[in-house]
A and B are shown apart, each in its own frame.
Chain A
């Protein structure tokens, strides 16, 4: 299995809702990432988990809460989002955090906040 899967593909939520994005990989990768991507912009790093521990939080607002239940799964919990949070949310994984750090991306979740 050489892919990263993400669910759901699309999500529409109101500003008072709580929802979660899910990501899964079975490549044995030890680092997993959440990115946010706006139209015509490169991906913007949000969080990094290395060996199931949060290693980087790029000053993301607390309405985004990551979780790594095990080495294959990554969640992003969403609460009280704003319309400007509407974007494509990408999960990625990489073999490690040393020389082999090429990232493999999932298809993304397109989030719309009303």
Chain B
């Protein structure tokens, strides 16, 4: 079993839909969680990061962490075609283990 599991998709949704992207993990030491967006042939862009459990909101994006279930989510409201990209989750166990472990990424397609 991989440390971080993420469905590669593709996930295809109509414009305006609410998108839910998820990762599960097995290492209970993970406590720093990040979401990246990567457009084709570009570098990953840090969208959000959260420490420990709870929700964090930034504009149309909400990151949610449920440590008891070892499950994290990224919600995108009012999705736009420009949101079409690969979304990578990443997590680490600071302070001792600061190198993030990445999920394999979920490809999202938002069609007009």
Contacts and interface: CB of A to CB of B under 8 A. Distances in A.
A and B assemble together: yes
B45 interface: yes
A30 to B, nearest CB: 11
Contact of B99 (A42, A45, A102): A45
A62 interface: no
B100 A103 contact: yes
The contact size tier of chain B is: 20 to 34
Interface stretch (A13-21, A69-77, A78-86, A93-101): A93-101
A63 B46 CA distance: 30
A101 B43 contact: no
Contacts of A106: 43
B42 A108 contact: yes
Interface in B1-43: 8, 32, 34, 36, 41-43
B102 A42 contact: yes
A110 B92 CA distance: 27
B99 A105 contact: no
A105 B98 contact: no
Nearest to A99: B94
A6 to B, nearest CB: 8
B70 interface: no
Given A42-B88, A43-B44, A88-B41, A101 B104 contact: no
Interface of B: 8, 32, 34, 36, 41-46, 49, 51, 88, 90, 92, 94-95, 98-100, 102-105
